Structure 1
Amino acid sequence: MKVGEYLKEQREQQGLSHAKLAKAAGVSKRSLIYWEQGRDMSVEVADKVLKVLGATYKIGA
């Protein structure tokens, strides 16, 4: 599963809107939507969003 798909899954499981998660992570709602659709994001930004979600994502083998 790609990181954007994982973020979307976690956000939906927690009942968070794009706006609430974006605000809590300090990113724009538009960027969050783009990332969930598969656009590239930096590791630093992914870390911020994952921390808000209380989730982890393993990169690599």
Structure 2
Amino acid sequence: MNIGEYLREQRIGKGISHEKLAKAAGVSKRSLIYWEQGEKDISLDNADKVLKALNASLTIGAR
């Protein structure tokens, strides 16, 4: 699973629309869709904003 798939899974699981999540994270709806579909890479800064808006976390790398 990539980060876009994870964001989409979290958003849908919490019943949040693209529009509502984008507004809460301070990013554009179009960017959010691109990231979820893997069409564009998400920066760590934007990933942090979206994850915080989702009240979710993600561990990258070995544990």
Same fold (TM over 0.5): yes
Structure 1 stretches of 4+ with a deviation exceeding 6 A read: none
1:12 counterpart residue number: 12
Identity %: 70
Name the structure, 1 or 2, with higher relative contact order (CA <8 Å, separation 6+).
1
Any stretches of 5+ residues in structure 2 without a counterpart?
A: none
Shift of 1:37: 0.6
Shift of 1:60: 1.6
Task: Report how many residues are paired.
Answer: 61
* RMSD of aligned alpha carbons: 0.6
1:30 counterpart residue number: 30
1:49 counterpart residue number: 50
The TM-score with structure 2 as length reference comes to 0.92
